[in-house]
Amino acid sequence: MHHALVFSTSKHSFGDGNAASWLANLADEYTFLRPLDAPYWLHQGYAAEMLCQPDDSFEAKNLQHNDAFQTLRRHAANKKLDVNIVPANRRRKQILIADMDSTIITSESLDDLAALAGLGDAVTAITKRAMAGEINFEGALFERVSMLAGKSSRLFDQLIATTTPTSGAIELVHTMRANGAKCYLVSGGFDVITGPVAARCGFHDHHANHMHVRDNKILGTVQTPVLDRNAKAAYLAHYCKQNGIDPIDAATIGDGANDLAMLQAAGMGVAFEGKPLLLAEVAIQLNHTDLRGLLYLQGYKGRDFITDKI
């Protein structure tokens, strides 16, 4: 089977050389993948790829146990490069399911809300453990929200005003939409934030938890059932069925433990600056490339990117 070997970065441009020169120091490291051509640019200075035909024993979804590939990935990382390999067949995806916190936006929205309420350190510590998979997500969510009881709901407006999309988020959604993909934001955060973020980035729809508010006060409780890791995978299955699309033609992206199930269920599941649990389990990783990296993985070139509003 043919595969595309993709190198990418957003750390800095590498000038005007050709792609083969850009990757010359890594050439000996990827010969085991049996390249069929020389590297060529997807986006000059930022992303290049080549077509490969690994032997029949190669499994792109089992890279975490492939010593030669992990050596290549480590050496590429020393140069601030991501390296990933994906099947060349059915490469462009027809559905995108994206996590929000620390993926489509730059921060954890509940942590930011807590900071505005003067509760930052206590809440952030719980978030870190939950995203690492060290504690139960639902319990951690209830505990953090309970700390906000009695705070003004006007904090939501401040939070929305300071929320920042991750570099490449708008290009990712708009480019995929322009090429016929359905795009959905699915978050273990809260709908008061996913709504504005989804609208700003161009998602078709969004799903998240709902925090109870009465008389302009946060009550400290959450509507159940909670949107957790299983719910994210369920939304992937739902939208694939609704749109008549096989999960192999879906892309998912996220950073935390509650994203693992949906990443494993999609044809292209991507750990974006992933927590250690994801890095140990998910083959496709973007650690040095912004969200445009998911476009490179699908074979989009820099000139294909769309930044205008849909």
Whichever domain contains 39, its CATH number is 3.30.70
**Once rounded to an integer, what is the mean pLDDT over residues 63-74?**
93
The residue length of the chain stands at 310
Instruction: State the residue range of the domain holding 65.
Output: 1-89
In this predicted model, what pLDDT tens digit does every residue of 171-189 receive, in sequence order?
A: 999 999 999 999 999 999 9
pLDDT at 16 over 70: no
Do 190 and 280 have their domain in common?
yes
Mean pLDDT score, 13-34: 89
Q: Are residues 141 and 200 located together in one domain of the fold? A: yes
| Together in a domain, 103 and 40 | no
CB contact at 8 A, 3 and 85: yes
Residues serving a catalytic function are 99, 101
Nearest to 293 by CA among 102, 18, 10: 10
Task: Check whether the bond before 54 is cis (ω within 30° of 0).
Answer: no
- 222 shares a domain with 75: no
Buried b (16+ CB within 10 A) or exposed e, 195-205: bbbbebbbbbe
Phi, psi of 214 (to 5 degrees): -145, 135
Q: Is residue 1 located within the same domain as residue 59?
A: yes
Residue 79 near residue 88 (C-beta atoms within 8 A):
no
- How high is the pLDDT of residue 15? 62
**209-218 per-position pLDDT tens digit:** 999 999 999 9
**Percent of the chain topping pLDDT 90:** 81
CATH label of the domain that carries residue 204: 3.40.50.1000
- Residue 280 and residue 64: Cα distance in Å, rounded? 7
Considering just the CA atoms, what is the radius of gyration of the chain in Å? 20
Interatomic CA distance for residues 208 and 191, integer angstroms: 5
Question: How is residue 278 written in tokens?
Answer: 């994801």
Which of 89, 122, 150 terminates a domain? The answer is 89
Average of per-residue pLDDT across 292-307: 96
pLDDT in tens, 224-283: 999 988 999 999 999 999 999 999 999 999 999 899 999 999 999 999 999 999 999 999
pLDDT at 136 > cutoff 90: no
d(C-alpha 5, C-alpha 3), whole Å: 6
How many structural domains is the chain composed of? Answer: 2
- Tell me the sheet residues that pair with 95: 182, 250
14 and 151 fall within a common domain:
no
The domain boundary residue, chosen from 65, 89, 113: 89
Last residue of a domain, one of 40, 70, 89: 89
Q: In whole angstroms, what is the distance from residue 82 CA to residue 186 CA?
A: 25
Q: Where are the beta strands (DSSP E) in the chain?
A: 3-8, 40-43, 47-52, 82-87, 95-98, 182-190, 205-209, 211-214, 217-222, 250-254, 268-272, 284-286
One domain, residues 101 and 85: no
202 and 129 part of one domain: yes
71, 188: one domain: no
Instruction: State residue 56's pLDDT score.
Output: 86
| Confidence check: pLDDT of 310 > 60 | no
Which one-letter amino acid corresponds to residue 96?
Answer: L
What average pLDDT does the segment 163-173 reach? 97
70 plus 110 within the same structural domain: no
Mean pLDDT of 33-59: 94
Do residues 75 and 146 share a domain?
no
Please say whether the beta carbons of 216 and 193 come within 8 A.
no
pLDDT of 17 reads 85
Confidence (pTM): 0.94
b/e per residue 148-159 (b: at least 16 CB within 10 A): beebebebbeeb
Q: Kindly state whether residues 131 and 79 are assigned to the same domain.
A: no
d(CA 308, CA 248): 28
Local confidence band at 127 (pLDDT 50, 70, 90 cut-offs): confident
Angle, helices 109-116/120-131, rounded to nearest 10 degrees:
170
